[in-house]
Each structure stands twice: as structure tokens, then as C-alpha cells.
Amino acid sequence: MSFSESPIVRRKSRQIMVGDVPVGGDAPISVQSMTNTPTSDVDATVAQIESIQQAGADIVRVSVPSLAEADAFGEIRKRVSVPLVADIHFDHKIALRVADLGVDCLRINPGNISREDRLREVIAKAKDLNIPIRIGVNAGSLGRDLLRKYGEPTAEAMVESAMRNVDRLDKYDFQNFKVSVKASEIFMAQAAYRDLAKRIEQPLHLGITEAGGLRSGTVKSAIGLGALLLDGIGDTIRISLAADPAEEARVAWSMLRSLRLRSKGINFIACPSCSRQNFDVISTVNALEARLEDITVPMDVSIIGCIVNGPGEAKLSDYGLTGGSPANLVYLDGVPDHKIKQENLVDQLEAEIRAKAAAKEAQMAIDAEQIIARG
């Protein structure tokens, strides 16, 4: 196994399509986020979707609580290119309306549509237009009968809720769906996902719901979802943060890069710094992360303040910087290349990393053409 390959063996699942994004099967784990603007404010919602997409989301979910907002959703759908999931509860007419307006996936809980004829109508529409459904079970909104049976939200209660809804779709021979069983308590969520993964073949949408703010929610999600991803469970992922939704996509990408499950953009390797550092590592890395967010070429960039660990990390990086005196040593593709001084260090690094990214992108294009030519 090469250093860039992931040792994770993923669970085998049925593949569905959310717009032009494959979910499940051998497809990469897709990244999702959700808007928090009023859906009725079309301009604001479109702007936020574009921001989320730029941050790396493959799919974006939009809440559609009323028929009026369903019409707004239709206008939003016309103005963005990323696949959209409509989040719908209770009113089946909203699901029917957004289906006709070009939705790419319906997020519903079939149990919230109590009348069988109405659920049948939604499923028929989804079948006709080849629209997948996400069954979304949440520990905070389990049915009263399940709460009476189990006494409180539990992993078992969530799985039972999910399987009831799976059975309702199976009744109409509808297999074009994915499932989530989310909880804010990580052990409950993990247990539910592990159990469900053994019961169905459909894709699993991972999430720790209501995880918290940017820092605490990132930590909770990394622990809760990282353990599942390490075991090969999960086909699409949403990090739920009380923060800018674009941050959810960035955190998800950081998790997937760390597990070598997807490669996009720069993977920064940086030391926490100490008195041996020959430049200000922390401010340098923070500045580079902000400046280089737009780079999508997969790259490892190491920024290490001294020669203790710097050369070792740089030898495994596309671009590596090892702090030194009177100048710092730059490695390209693991080989010492040249030195740069402290003056205007961030500007120099940004320019050189961008040049390296452009060169790597050009080489990747050449390699792809050669593979195609060989047949």
C-alpha cells in the first residue's frame, strides 16, 4: 500500500444518484451541507448555496416548510448547479411540488406522512421522475410509541424507526433511497449506524446531529463519525455545526482527507511550534490556509519550524518547508530544492505553492490523457 492509499475497506452498498452525484457503491463519499437562510429569500439562499459549493459540498439540502417556499425552491433550483435535497416534513403536497420543480432528492420521514394514499402518491412521483428519498431518523423526533416502548431515545429505537420506514418503501418496491439515524450523543449514533449497516444494502448518510459550535461540533463529529468511517461505514456525510454552513463542508473534507478517503485541495501538515522554530509557524499556516482555499488539486504541504521533524515530513510532501537559519529550506516532491528567507515569507510560500499546484494539475491531465490513449 502506498502512503496515499487508504487501508479502509468500505461497506458494500447499493448505488443511487442524487442529481449527477453517485452515492454508495464504489462512489467517493460525498460531502453535504444545508442552508440556513429563509428559503423564501431566493437571492440569499442562492448566494449561500454557491458559498457552500465553493467550500467543497457535492450536495446541498434546503428546508422547504411550505408550498410558498416550494415555489421559491423552484427558482433556486434554476440558478444553481449543485444537486439539491429538499427537506420536507408532514405535508406530502410539498414533496409533490418540489419533485415537479426539479429536486434531486427528497428528505422525508415516511412516518410523518400518516395516510398511506399520500405516501403512495409521493413514492409514485419519485419513481416516475427517478428521484431518490432519504429516510431521516433523528433521536430528537422519535414517535411516541417508540419512546413509550424504550423509555427514552436509544439506538435500538432509532433503528426500529428506520426499519419501519424501510418496510413502508419496500412495500411499494421502492429501493432508491438512503438512510440516516442521527443523534447528538455519539455512542447512540454509532450503535445505530453499526446496527443498520448490517440490515440494509442502501447507502448510509452519516451525521452527528446538533453537534455544537464550530470547535466543539468539529471535535464531536470527528470522534463520532471518524470511528464509523474507519470501519468503512458511510456513503455521504454532513457535519452539523452551529456555524457558517460552508464550514461544515470544509470540516467534512478535512476528515475525509485525514482518512485518505478523498483527495481535494491542500492537506496541511504543520507543527504546533516551540522555541526551536525559525519562523512564526502558527501565523504562517493560518494565513496560507485562508489564502489557498481555492486550490482543488490534491496536495500535501508540510510547514515545519525546525530541522527536528521538518526534513522527514518534507520528504513525504509535494511541497515542504523546513525552518532554518539564516534561511529556510524548501523541498519539492520530497527533494531539497532551494532556500527562502524570512522576509515576505507568506507571500513567497503562496506563490510557490500555487506554482506547484499548477504544475501538478498539468501533470495529472497528461497522465489522464495517456491512460485514455492506452485504452
Instruction: Kindly give, in sequence order, each residue whose CB lies less than 8 Å from that of residue 363, ignoring residues fewer than 6 positions away.
Output: none
As for how many domains the chain has, the answer is: 2
Q: Which of 258, 277, 301 delimits the end of a domain? A: 258
Edge-to-edge strand list for the sheet holding 133-138: 177-182, 133-138, 105-108, 84-87, 59-63, 30-34, 236-238, 205-206
Q: Which of 258, 281, 302 delimits the end of a domain? A: 258
Q: Answer yes or no: do 95 and 157 share one domain.
A: yes
Which residues of the chain have a pLDDT value below 70?
1-4, 110, 375
What amino acid is encoded at 47 in this protein?
A
Q: Answer yes or no: do 223 and 282 share one domain.
A: no
Distance CA 177, CA 34 (A): 19
Neighbours of 127 (CB within 10 A): 13
Q: Answer yes or no: do 224 and 292 share one domain.
A: no
Q: Answer yes or no: do 242 and 335 share one domain.
A: no
Judge whether 9 lies within some domain.
no
Q: Answer yes or no: do 318 and 355 share one domain.
A: yes
Q: Answer yes or no: do 79 and 51 share one domain.
A: yes
**pLDDT computed for residue 332 by the predictor:** 96
**Contact (Cβ atoms closer than 8 angstroms) between residue 64 and residue 87:** yes
Q: Answer yes or no: do 164 and 293 share one domain.
A: no
**pLDDT computed for residue 3 by the predictor:** 47
CATH of residue 125's domain is 3.20.20.20
Distance CA 158, CA 179 (A): 11
CATH of residue 322's domain is 3.30.413.10
Judge whether 68 lies within some domain.
yes
**pLDDT computed for residue 109 by the predictor:** 76
Judge whether 154 lies within some domain.
yes
Distance CA 233, CA 63 (A): 26
Judge whether 45 lies within some domain.
yes
What amino acid is encoded at 138 in this protein?
N
**Contact (Cβ atoms closer than 8 angstroms) between residue 198 and residue 225:** no
Judge whether 6 lies within some domain.
no
Instruction: Kindly give, in sequence order, each residue whose CB lies less than 8 Å from that of residue 161, ignoring residues fewer than 6 positions away.
Output: 111, 137, 142, 143, 146, 181
Q: Answer yes or no: do 99 and 241 share one domain.
A: yes
Q: Answer yes or no: do 235 and 345 share one domain.
A: no
Judge whether 11 lies within some domain.
no
Q: Answer yes or no: do 147 and 37 share one domain.
A: yes
Q: Which of 220, 238, 258 delimits the end of a domain? A: 258
Domain containing residue 83: 16-258
Judge whether 1 lies within some domain.
no
* Strand bridging mode 328-332 / 335-340: antiparallel
Q: Answer yes or no: do 104 and 201 share one domain.
A: yes
Q: Answer yes or no: do 253 and 275 share one domain.
A: no
Judge whether 344 lies within some domain.
yes
Burial group, residue 159, by CB count within 10 angstroms (0-12, 13-18, 19+):
buried
- Taking the CA atoms of residue 153, residue 156, residue 158 and residue 164 in that order, the dihedral angle to the nearest 10 degrees is -130
